[in-house]
Every structure is written in C-alpha cells, then in structure tokens.
Amino acid sequence: MSRRPRPAGREGQPARRAALSLFLAVLEERRTLDEAEPALQGLAPEARARARRLVAETFRGLARADALLAPHLRRRPPAAALAALRLGTVELAQGGAAHGVVNDWVQIVAGAGRKPAAARGMVNAVLRKMAAEAPERWKTLPVPEMPAWLRGPVAEAWGEAAAAAIEAAHLAGAPLDLTAKGDPAALAARLGAELLPTGSLRLPRGAQVSALPGFAEGDWWVQDAGAALPALALAPRPAERVLDLCAAPGGKTMQLAAAGAKVTAVDLSAARLERVSQNLARTGLSARLLAEDARAHQGGPYEAILLDAPCSATGTIRRHPELPHIRDGSGVAALCALQAELVDHAVQLLAPGGRLVYCTCSLLPAEGEAQAEAALARHPGLRPDPEALDLPGIETDWRVPQGLRLRPDHWAQRGGIDGFFIAAFRRVA
C-alpha cells in the first residue's frame, strides 16, 4: 500500500516546539541546557536530540542570527516570536529546507503569545527573507565574540590573536572524545576512532553515543581529551587510597577506579552523585560515594587527591555554547573563594609525600594559574610536582610555570580540546 506523503516539516514540528521551550527556559531562567533538558521528558528520543542540537547551534551562532535579523525588525518582537526567528534563522542558515522550516515556525508562533495573528505574519515575512539571505551570508558574518567579562581576562593573558582563535574554536564546536576502560588502541580500532596522542579516542561531532559499540557493555565513557589528563597526572596505583573531590558526574572517578585505585568520591550534590553511581554501574567499576561538602570531608590521610573544583566552566563553551548567554561573570569571585577553601582542605587531608592534582575547566587564569600560585604561597609544605605533568602526547606550549594550560584553540588541526588548567603538587611536610 502506498503511503501519502507527509506535509513538509510535520515530523520536525514536535522537535521545533520543544526547541522553543528549551531555548526560552535556558535564556530566561539562566539554566544550562543540561539543567533545562529534563523539561523535554515525554518527547521521543530522536526529537529530543534534534531539539537540543538546534538550541545549542542557535546559542553558538546567536550573534550571527541577530545580525541577520536586525535590519528586518522594526521593534523587538515578543519573546516567543523572537525565539522562533532566531531558531528558524539558524536552521535556514545551516541548510534547513525553507518551506518546512518557515511553515513550522509560523504554525508554532500562531499558537503562542498574546497577539498570535500579528506574530504569525511577522515571522512568516521575516523567515522568508532569511530563507533567501541566511544560507549565503552566514559564513561571511563575524565569528561571535566572548562576552567582555571573559574576553578581557583571556586577551590579557594570551593576547588578541589567541582570544580570536578561541572564539573560532567555540564556533567550530567539539568532536566526540571517549576514554577507554581498557586498551585504548584496541577500542579505537573497534570503533574506527582516532587514537589521540594522550590516549583518548576521537570521533566526529554528532556521533550518537548510545548507538556506538561497547556503550551498553561499559567499555568506554564520554570525556573530553583535556578532561582526561588530570587523572593521568595523579597516576593512581593499584589498591592506592585515592580521594576524588567534586566527583560528579564521575568521568575522573571512572579513570581512577579503572586504574585499580580504591576511590572515595565526594560531591555536594546527591542528585549528581546518582549519575556517578549509574556511570560506575554501566562500566562495572566501583568507588565509595559520599554526598557531602568536600570542605567537611573527614578521612585520610590520602596518598593521592584529585580536586576538580567547581568553576565557571568557560573552558567547555565548545560543548556548552549557551554559557556566554546565561552567565555574566558575577559568580566568579565566589567560585574563586570556594576553590581556595577546597584546596586548603585537600592539603589537610594529604599524607606526607602525598600527591594533589588541582584542576578547573576554566579559561580564567583566576581559577587556574592564580589559584596554583596562591596555594603554594599559603602552604609552605606544598611543592609543585612538574614531573607529574610529563604525560604522553602533551605539547610543549601547553606547559606553563604553574602547570598545564589547555585552550580550545590548541590542537586546532585535530579538532581542538576543552580549556583546562591542571596543577600537580606534592606535600613535603
């Protein structure tokens, strides 16, 4: 029996409706995509993934979409109509079929807001113009800049050219990196992945994680190549008692446990610790999990401590393009104070001769290099341990006096790496 063709765009409409709610939830409530995504529960997994992808791409290219839209908007449209225009423009710029995209967004807007008829006409007219303009003009528009609170310190630390290169990396997005539970070379061959010099595996952006071989068996987990380095720098030994502070969702906990260490993993958030538990169950690894403030942890002394401190997460903008649109830098001072308190407590929990690795996925030197310097100034019994950072595959220009500085523009030919700062210390007294 022949099936009647579906009207263009109909199968995309649930995803687009969901994208509109998700986009508004992130922007208006200042929640990350991860925090807001549970609102999409009930949507088929494919539509959910499509909605999330569209919202992420819209935040990534928002400055470009706004530049294209501006000449066609006499006044700022109501929130839902503006969101539809931004999402629709990005879809069109990235090759979406004009008829389906425009019709769907017009229908969606017709059911939202206080003056649906006016909004409907405006969205229809503007998106038709975008269908004609956006695909050609998109790539000619400037690369979106980081917000001033972030761009300022980045350009001051590494210069204008580096800031621009980091912005280009944010726009390019990130590939899919995995960490193997066992032999990385064997897993790379099995998955057809690139084996990176640091031991991580790399697949092209957009690969569907749960469909990859070995996911259900727990043979690997998703982890940026930069995020995999701190646990390698700690170099846990089999049966060694290791403390993993600020552990959720557990990428580093799994690395430490896979190396055979007896891991105690601490995180303030019981909900996030539940994800560590699920990750450990999937990978068949184990660790002792404690939901508590790391500053109150009593235990040890430990031979090895990993402190992956909460931070601005500005090193992960490639993967979390909404961050520049929902943060204003006002939380950074409090994060820096918390990081220092966490370092101080970690030092107290360290056995004489013990190793401490401190890291943050931040581009801000205040959360990285400055924290490492301040820790040494506050703790005369702490020494830098630069040899711990002599890891396979490390490029010489990642080394800085305080430790390792990774930036998204590093490894540009390979597809980049998340921004990270990593310092290694030893307690000598």
Q: Which is nearer to ligand SAM, 88 or 249 (CB)?
A: 249
Q: Which stretch binds ligand SAM (CB under 6 A): 22-30, 91-99, 288-296, 406-414?
A: 288-296
Say if residue 116 is exposed, middle or buried (CB neighbours under 10 Å; 0-12, 13-18, 19+): middle
Selected binder of ligand SAM within 92, 233, 243, 246 (CB under 6 A): 246
CB of 344 to ligand SAM, least distance (A): 12
Q: Which is nearer to ligand SAM, 151 or 252 (CB)?
A: 252
Q: Tell me the two tokens of residue 9.
A: 């765009």
Interatomic CA distance for residues 407 and 418, integer angstroms: 6
Strands 201-203, 176-180: parallel, antiparallel or unpaired by DSSP?
antiparallel
By CB under 6 A, tell whether 290 contacts ligand SAM.
no
CB of 302 to ligand SAM, least distance (A): 15
By CB under 6 A, tell whether 228 contacts ligand SAM.
no
Selected binder of ligand SAM within 308, 322, 409, 418 (CB under 6 A): 308
DSSP β-bridge partners for residue 426: 355, 383
Interatomic CA distance for residues 184 and 392, integer angstroms: 13
Q: Which is nearer to ligand SAM, 103 or 255 (CB)?
A: 255
Selected binder of ligand SAM within 47, 169, 176, 266 (CB under 6 A): 266
Say if residue 150 is exposed, middle or buried (CB neighbours under 10 Å; 0-12, 13-18, 19+): buried
Number of other CB atoms surrounding residue 426 within 10 Å:
17
Task: Find out whether 336 is annotated in a ligand binding site.
Answer: no
Instruction: Say how many residues make up the chain.
Output: 429
CB of 62 to ligand SAM, least distance (A): 25
By CB under 6 A, tell whether 203 contacts ligand SAM.
no
Selected binder of ligand SAM within 249, 403, 415, 419 (CB under 6 A): 249
Please calculate the CA angle 303-304-308 and round it to the nearest 5 degrees.
155
Does the annotation count 361 as an active-site position? yes
Selected binder of ligand SAM within 295, 325, 383, 399 (CB under 6 A): 295
Selected binder of ligand SAM within 46, 183, 293, 328 (CB under 6 A): 293
What is the three-class DSSP state of 360? strand
Structural element, H or E, at residue 265: strand 262-267
Q: Which stretch binds ligand SAM (CB under 6 A): 116-124, 143-151, 265-273, 317-325?
A: 265-273
Selected binder of ligand SAM within 294, 349, 350, 375 (CB under 6 A): 294
By CB under 6 A, tell whether 310 contacts ligand SAM.
yes
Q: Which is nearer to ligand SAM, 43 or 347 (CB)?
A: 347
Selected binder of ligand SAM within 109, 228, 243, 248 (CB under 6 A): 248
Interatomic CA distance for residues 82 and 58, integer angstroms: 12
Active-site hit among 311, 336, 359, 361 = 361
Task: Find out whether 248 is annotated in a ligand binding site.
Answer: yes
Strands 262-267, 288-291: parallel, antiparallel or unpaired by DSSP?
parallel
Q: Alpha helix locations (H) across 285-394?
A: 323-326, 332-348, 369-378
Which backbone phi and psi does 263 adopt, to 5 degrees?
Answer: -100, 130
Helix/strand/coil percent split, the chain, to 5: 50, 15, 35
Task: Find out whether 249 is annotated in a ligand binding site.
Answer: yes
By CB under 6 A, tell whether 73 contacts ligand SAM.
no
Nearest CA among 262, 256, 255, 272 for reference residue 220 = 255
Interatomic CA distance for residues 120 and 103, integer angstroms: 10
CB of 247 to ligand SAM, least distance (A): 5
By CB under 6 A, tell whether 86 contacts ligand SAM.
no
Residue type, 371: Q
Asked whether 247 and 260 are in contact (CB, 8 A), the reply is no
Interatomic CA distance for residues 54 and 15, integer angstroms: 9
Task: Find out whether 115 is annotated in a ligand binding site.
Answer: no
Asked whether 143 and 171 are in contact (CB, 8 A), the reply is yes
Residue nearest to ligand SAM (CB): 246
By rule CB under 6 A, what count of residues binds ligand SAM? 18
Selected binder of ligand SAM within 251, 315, 403, 419 (CB under 6 A): 251
- Catalytic residue IDs: 361
Residues binding ligand SAM (CB under 6 A): 246-252, 266-269, 272, 293-295, 308, 310, 361
Binding residues for S-adenosyl-L-methionine: 246-252, 267, 308
